[in-house]
Structure 1
Amino acid sequence: MMLRWSWAAPRLALAPAVVVTLIGFVGSIAWTIYQSFTQSRRFPEYKIDSARWLSQYERLFANETWWTALQNLLILAIGSALAIVFGFILAALIEREKFGEGLFRTVLLYPLAVSLIVTGLVWRWMFNPSLGIEAFLRGHGFENASFNWLAAPQTAMYGIILASIWHGLGFYMALMLAGLKSINTEIWSAARLDGVGVGRLYIEIIIPMMRFTFLTCAILLSLGVVKAYDIVVAMTNGGPGTSTWTPAYFAINAYSTRSNIGFASAAAVIMLLITLAIFLPLVAATAWQARRREAARG
């Protein structure tokens, strides 16, 4: 009886979480996919017209703003990846110097404690020509200084990228620092004895050994980029025009402004497919790296 209870007890404890996950997560995804094939508008419908079951997707890909949102998603992904690059550089500098590590780590991690809404509002103020950096520079003699990126469609997305990098830089630095500390100190000592240069050491030895850390950072970054919404709302609210719309902003706008559940669901399903296309290969690569590491240890 004791053996049976020890087998059943953990499963009973996990049952509520499994039920909530199935209903709240898997169920919501299934409902959204189903609604994307209906003609639902303000209220959901559950009848699928066999002659028009792909009409929401046809409307979606015929919409120029949707293509703008996809383009912005790519720009945001490439730009935000700089947070991983700079995070690694900062981690390497801190790891080498040691002095002030706790202070620098605390200061650089502080932005992570601030929500993306607050981050967006702060950077919106900093880009304000009458209150922010531009006003500061002009007040100190730089009369031609210009830092009003959010006012121009060509530069507004870069302002969002800059704020995103500032917000996530400390987090990726902490992950990279943990990865660097996990490397055996004998490797550093052997490299010094062999006279290996610092640049060659990092490029040929350290970075390949930290592939697992880089993959983890890439997974976390990709998830954050695909669902980017709050920082866009806080900084530009999608403007100027539709120049800073992202897929998440597009989907929520389709539901809240257009009151079109079916159209918004179609956008959400495409977002899910984009996430899977990015997430699954990265997870597979991470699992493969983990198996290689375990095999090497064995």
Structure 2
Amino acid sequence: MSIRWTRIAPQIALTPALAVTLVAFIGSIFWTIYLSFTRSRRVPDYAIDWSEWGRQYARLAQDAGWSTALWNLITLGVGSGLAIVFGFVLAAMIDREKRGESFFRTVFLYPLAVSLIVTGVAWRWILNPTMGLEATLHRIGFENVDFNWLAQGDTAMYAIILASIWQSSGFYMALMIAGLKSINSEIWSAARLDGVSLWRLYIEIIIPMMKFTFLTCAILLSLGVIKAYDIVLAMTNGGPGQSTWVPAYFVINALSQKQNLGYASAAAVMMLLITLAVFLPLVLLTAWQNRRRAAQ
């Protein structure tokens, strides 16, 4: 009897977590998909007009705000990718310079301890023309400098990207350091004996060996970019106008401001599809690389 209990005890312990996952996560996904085909406004309306079942998605395709949000998503993804590049550069510098490694690693990791809301507020102060970086440069003689990026629609998104890179570079640096530590030290010694330049060593040997680390960073970055909301809210609240809207902000705006549950659900479903389109290829590529490495 004790053996049987030992076998079923883990399943019993996992039952509450499984139930929460099925109801709160998977159930919510299907509920959102269903509502996206309805005319729900402030409250759910479960009646579907099959003659116009794609009405919400048709509206979404014609909405200029949604088009802006998708374009900003691409811009944010490409710009935030620099965080991985900076993270690798910082990791390589710290790994090469052993003295003070713990100190510099802590300094560069510190922004990660700050929430995205706090990061957004801090950078809004930094870019404030009356008391931030622009005012400081004006006081020391650089009067033609203009850092009022948040007030201009064509530069506000770049300010958000800059804050995102500052906040996340330390995290990717930590992942890169772990990847560098896993490389056999004999490779470094052999390259030094053969006279291979440091630049060629990283480009031709080290980076290819760290492809799994880069894939992991890319997966985490893509998920963070797609659900980006906090930093946009803190820095610009979507403005000026709709210039810094992203899909997550669009969904919240449709739900809270327009009070259109069906429309917000349709946008949320599109976010889910975008996530799958970006996330699944990266996961499949990682799995393929793992099988290829195991077969060698």
TM-score where L is the length of structure 2: 0.98
Report the Cα distance in structure 2 between the residues aligned to 1:105 and 1:295, rounded to whole angstroms: 36
Number of positions where the alignment pairs a residue of Structure 1 with one of Structure 2: 296
Can you list the C-alpha shifts for 1:228-273, whole angstroms capped at 9, x where unaligned? Answer: 1110010000001100000000010000000000000000000000
- Match for 2:83: what amino acid? A
Q: Who is 2:251 aligned against?
A: 251
Q: Which 5+ residue runs of structure 2 have no aligned equivalent?
A: none
Report the Cα distance in structure 1 between the residues aligned to 2:223 and 2:106, rounded to whole angstroms: 24
Report the Cα distance in structure 1 between the residues aligned to 2:171 and 2:294, rounded to whole angstroms: 26
Q: Who is 1:240 aligned against?
A: 240
Q: Who is 2:274 aligned against?
A: 274
Q: Who is 1:97 aligned against?
A: 97
**1:17-36 to 2 correspondences below 5 Å:** 17-36=17-36
Can you list the C-alpha shifts for 1:67-113, whole angstroms capped at 9, x where unaligned? Answer: 00000000000000000001001101111111111011101111111
Please state how far the C-alpha of 1:295 moved relative to its aligned partner.
Answer: 3.7
Report the Cα distance in structure 2 between the residues aligned to 1:292 and 1:8, rounded to whole angstroms: 36
Please state how far the C-alpha of 1:284 moved relative to its aligned partner.
Answer: 1.1
Q: Who is 2:175 aligned against?
A: 175
Q: Who is 1:149 aligned against?
A: 149
Q: Who is 2:213 aligned against?
A: 213
Would you say 1:66 and 2:66 are equivalent positions? yes
Report the Cα distance in structure 1 between the residues aligned to 2:5 and 2:280, rounded to whole angstroms: 37
Can you list the C-alpha shifts for 1:94-149, whole angstroms capped at 9, x where unaligned? Answer: 11111111011101111111110000000000010001000000011111111111
Identical columns (%): 70
Can you list the C-alpha shifts for 1:143-183, whole angstroms capped at 9, x where unaligned? Answer: 11111111111100000000000000100000000000000
Please state how far the C-alpha of 1:292 moved relative to its aligned partner.
Answer: 3.1
Please state how far the C-alpha of 1:286 moved relative to its aligned partner.
Answer: 1.5
Q: Who is 1:13 aligned against?
A: 13
Q: Which 5+ residue runs of structure 1 have no aligned equivalent?
A: none
**1:223-238 to 2 correspondences below 5 Å:** 223-238=223-238
Report the Cα distance in structure 1 between the residues aligned to 2:206 and 2:7, rounded to whole angstroms: 44
Q: Who is 1:123 aligned against?
A: 123
Structure 1 runs (4+) deviating above 6 angstroms are none
Question: Is 277-286 or 264-273 further displaced after alignment?
Answer: 277-286
SS in 2 for 1:44: coil
Please state how far the C-alpha of 1:6 moved relative to its aligned partner.
Answer: 2.1
- Match for 2:34: what amino acid? Y
Would you say 1:137 and 2:156 are equivalent positions? no
Report the Cα distance in structure 2 between the residues aligned to 1:210 and 1:71, rounded to whole angstroms: 30
Report the Cα distance in structure 1 between the residues aligned to 2:11 and 2:188, rounded to whole angstroms: 46
Q: Who is 1:57 aligned against?
A: 57
Report the Cα distance in structure 2 between the residues aligned to 1:4 and 1:293, rounded to whole angstroms: 39
- Match for 2:70: what amino acid? L
Report the Cα distance in structure 2 between the residues aligned to 1:67 and 1:285, rounded to whole angstroms: 29
